[in-house]
Structure 1
């Protein structure tokens, strides 16, 4: 098995699959695009090249990107033609269980025995999908985020059957494409969408209760805690704020909303042993004491620069 995966097949060349193909082609892979028909695959390639021209003109892609994509991206007549002989196959069809089953079974029937197969599902458990793939040791979830060329994170979701060498090889491919892979365990929604959809549900409840309008909720999120999430995850933010502060807030939330918003045990357990965050030398993260001043300076600089960037860009069109 080649860790470089020189030939990649993308099955499903819509905006998600097309963006993945674009990213891997720009990283030097030969990418074959396949869809429900040759016409769809050709249209996708044409769209990706036109997009690249626009991105180059806007300074989002480096000069020469379209020429590289024209050389590396190929639209093929069928899924079989794309998968046959490919080193790595990414399945990026619609989030429909039956469509996934048909696609993965077809891929598995044609792919080389040593070809690695990744699925780009957003929430379906990888272990369930693995049942449709011959050789589950070469199968894993590889969850990109839309738009794939610009969002850096990629979740890697192995099953207990996935070979460690396969995980490492895909991880290296993702890093070489300029992305930031995170290995996570297999569960519905994985990490990103479990969090994202939990936030959406709570936001919808706020609207349903008449506490705020959708645009007001969005303004609060993107200008407060969501503003900080571009640099820090929830545990780093909590450690800098103080876990005791969080515990106090949870008491108010629990009184109002019940156990749905009670303090999680991972928080109260940390407080019980004196781990309050950076103020006590450690919380749920172990941030070295000699790095704390530099961390706070980084935080303040990052927030100020992001504020400047937001002012420079202005409000999102249609959402100002």
Structure 2
């Protein structure tokens, strides 16, 4: 079995950050989750506890023993100096990510690998905020993290070969498969996933078919585990829009967001997290 990182920090305790923390704790890592304040830190622990209960049948030990390896704090300064890995998992805001990564680098030791869970932002540009960009890469996890089979490893020009090899070993230690891609807008997964999702939204906008029919066409005809519109609801329409806007700015008109997507986001129809998107989640 691949070596597990003994000490892990996760900056951001939302759905993705909590899933990342849960996954590392489940394979034996000691994990510190960083949030913006005490209330958010407590909520992150509750999120992880709930995730462990849902995954109880897949765990090798009781949920409470896994949870005991997780702590939460409200400042990046609380990251362990001896961390093997720190994963940033906050919202898709390049300036915020760069600031938090630089703050984390100032706290941890020189051997710590830093990673961003960004789904589309430039790893090279984020790494420019670091003193040692050679130990930085993208580790793009997928939702829900504990059950997903993939981590997309994104390599910037400055990323060292040893950093990639170590991240690959940790990916396998989590029981997941890696795909390695060059730093490029949207990488591989988001670029293809967003293209499919945007076209599905245009089809709804044009009245080609209703969301369920479009999703069934991809699920039953192409064996996708779920259709692009249900997936958009799970990811969050606001997240999809932010990625689309980034890809539009970097790759051109083929990633221009449909008016329907902008209107839904403006109305607060963000998918499962708001109770309504292309489906009702009440």
With normalisation by structure 1, the TM-score equals 0.67
Give the 5 Å matches for 1:274-293.
none
Alignment RMSD? 2.2
2:188 to 161, 186, 191: 191
Greater relative CO, 1 or 2 (CA 8 Å, sep 6+):
2
1:1-320 matches, within 5 Å, as 4-56=4-56, 59=57, 61-62=58-59, 64-227=61-224
Q: Is the 8 A contact 1:4 1:169 kept in 2?
A: no
Cα deviation digits, residues 101-123 of structure 1 (max 9, x gap): 22112112222122100000010
For structure 2, the residue ranges without an aligned partner over 5 or more in a row are 228-253, 255-278
Q: Describe the shift of the 1:215–1:142 C-alpha distance in structure 2 as closer, same or farther (beyond 3 A).
A: same
Change (3 A) 1:123 1:83: farther
Q: Cα 1:133–1:32, aligned 2, differ >3 Å: closer, same or farther?
A: same
Alpha-carbon contact 2:79-2:108 (below 8 Å) kept: no
- Long gaps (5+) in structure 1: 231-259, 261-316
Cα shift at 1:226 = 3.6
Distance change (3 Å), C-alpha of 1:40 and 1:176: same
Alpha-carbon distance in structure 2 between the residues aligned to 1:65 and 1:180: 25
Cα distance, 1:179 vs. partner? Answer: 0.7
Q: Distance in 1 between matches of 2:100 and 2:189?
A: 24
- The answer to whether the 8 Å contact 2:21/2:48 transfers is no
Deviates more, 1:44-53 or 1:108-117: 44-53
Paired with 2:23 and 2:102, the residues of 1 have a C-alpha distance of: 25
SS in 2 for 1:194: helix
Matches of 1:126 and 1:63, distance apart in 2? 34
Tell me the CA shift for residue 38 of structure 1. Answer: 3.0
Distance 1:228 1:143, change over 3 A: closer
2:7 and 2:158 map into 1 onto residues whose CA distance is: 24
Q: Which has the larger radius of gyration?
A: 1
Residue 80 of structure 1 and its aligned partner are, at CA, apart by: 1.1
Deviation, 1:87, is 1.5
Between the aligned partners of 1:146 and 1:106, the Cα distance in structure 2 is 26
The whole-number CA distance in structure 1 between the counterparts of 2:205 and 2:98 is 36
- In 1, the alpha carbon distance for the partners of 2:6 and 2:129 equals 25
Shift >3 Å, 4+ stretches: 226-230
Q: Give the distance between the partners of 2:178 and 2:62, measured in 1 at CA.
A: 23
CA–CA distance in 2 between the matches of 1:48 and 1:229? Answer: 25
Helix, strand or coil at the partner of 1:94: coil
**Deviation of the 1:156 alpha carbon:** 0.3
Greater helix share, 1 or 2?
A: 1
Aligned residues, how many? 229
TM-score for both structures, normalised by structure 2? 0.75
Q: CA deviation at 1:28?
A: 1.0
Is the contact made by 2:152 and 2:179 (CA closer than 8 Å) also made in structure 1? yes
How far apart, in 2, do the equivalents of 1:109 and 1:38 lie?
Answer: 22
State the 1:210 CA deviation: 2.2
Q: Is the Cα–Cα contact under 8 Å of residues 4 and 173 in structure 2 kept in the other structure? A: no
